[in-house]
Amino acid sequence: MHAVFLDQQTFNEDISLAEIQNEVSTLTCFATTQPNEIIKRCINAEIIITNKVVLTEALLKQLPKLKLICIAATGMNNIDLPTAEKLNIEVTNVSGYASQSVAQNVFAQILEYFNQTSHHNQNTASGLWTKSPTFCFLGNTINELAGKTLGIIGYGDLGKAVAKIAEAFEMKVLIAERANTEHIRANRTSYEQVVKTADVITLHCPQTPDTEQMVNEEFLQMMQPHSMLINTARGALVDNHALLDALKNNDIAHAVLDVLDQEPPPADHPLISSKLSNLKITAHIAWASTQAQQRLILGISKNIKAFMFSN
């Protein structure tokens, strides 16, 4: 079986592909792949590995040898799944590989905000401590997480991993029920109550028609003025302009985004170009610890092996 990896550059250079290579006859890797390059590169491939390269109906119909698509991620929205099914092309993904990485990233951001670590390091680097009349130089306020309320929207593997860490910090954890539902499941809190009462809200839900732009003006107006928003899920969950207005007007105190609605974003993206001090943006890297990347490669290799066994 000949396999083609269309966007290996979405992984670090030191990530081993040996586990995949052991399951296929040949593996051809490309750093990135543009839409007009897909057919030429995949015409003889029986297996395509793709992280974010989009495979449309028109493309899939031109790949007669293709038997398996391995998505190097959890989300499957870059594949035309109905067409793949019609063409008898199996599509697999990998879930659960990034729970620890994402949860750690969420708390790295929470701790940076509540402890103001970079600020205090800079104070020392700029000489303020050496000029202090007392044994310390206090600078920005430091706040404890114990007793703070963390609201989690989306309670799959990622949300559960975040909750586990929050409990270790003695935070109060609220798991949001789905929006617009009257039935509240055990150990859940109504969606509106979570948004209204949480000191920190972290998003871990998938992008669906129901969740797109869920963080809109109404959502942000419900949040407390001192609260913090974190999105490591999907950029389309957030209404960019509503978030900008909320941050500018101090309707919420701080936001951290690891994802945007366009990736990579253009230089004039409204959130990138805003330069707001209470908005921090990272480049979709919450998932990407070395260990998580290697677990993802292992998951892909297992999917290939299972496909071989069943065929």
The pLDDT tens digits of the residues spanning 130-186 come to: 999 999 999 999 999 999 999 999 999 999 999 999 999 999 999 999 998 889 999
Cβ within 8 Å of residue 46, ≥6 positions away: 1, 2, 3, 65, 66, 67, 68
Rounded Cα–Cα distance for residues 71 and 48 (Å): 8
Amino acid at 237: L
Q: Residue 75 pLDDT > 90, yes or no?
A: no
What does residue 254 show for φ and ψ, rounded to 5 degrees? -160, 150
The pLDDT tens digits of the residues spanning 90-103 come to: 999 999 999 999 99
CATH code, 2-97+290-310: 3.40.50.720
Contacts 24+ apart (CB under 8 A), 104-109: 104/165, 104/289, 105/232, 105/258, 105/282, 105/285, 105/286, 106/162, 106/165, 106/202, 106/230, 106/232, 106/286, 107/162, 107/165, 107/166, 107/169, 109/230, 109/256, 109/280
Rounded Cα–Cα distance for residues 300 and 49 (Å): 8
The pLDDT tens digits of the residues spanning 201-233 come to: 999 998 889 999 999 999 999 999 999 999 999
What pLDDT is stored for residue 61 in this prediction? 97
What pLDDT is stored for residue 135 in this prediction? 97
Confidence band, pLDDT 50/70/90 cuts, at residue 311: confident
What pLDDT is stored for residue 12 in this prediction? 96
Domain locations along the chain: 2-97+290-310, 99-281
**Which tokens in the block code for residue 188?**
């859940």
Q: What is the mean pLDDT of the chain?
A: 96
Q: Residue 113 pLDDT > 90, yes or no?
A: yes
State in words which class domain 99-281 has.
alpha beta
Q: Residue 84 pLDDT > 90, yes or no?
A: yes
What pLDDT is stored for residue 114 in this prediction? 98
Q: Which residues are catalytic?
A: 234, 263, 284
Mean pLDDT (whole number) for 123-127: 97
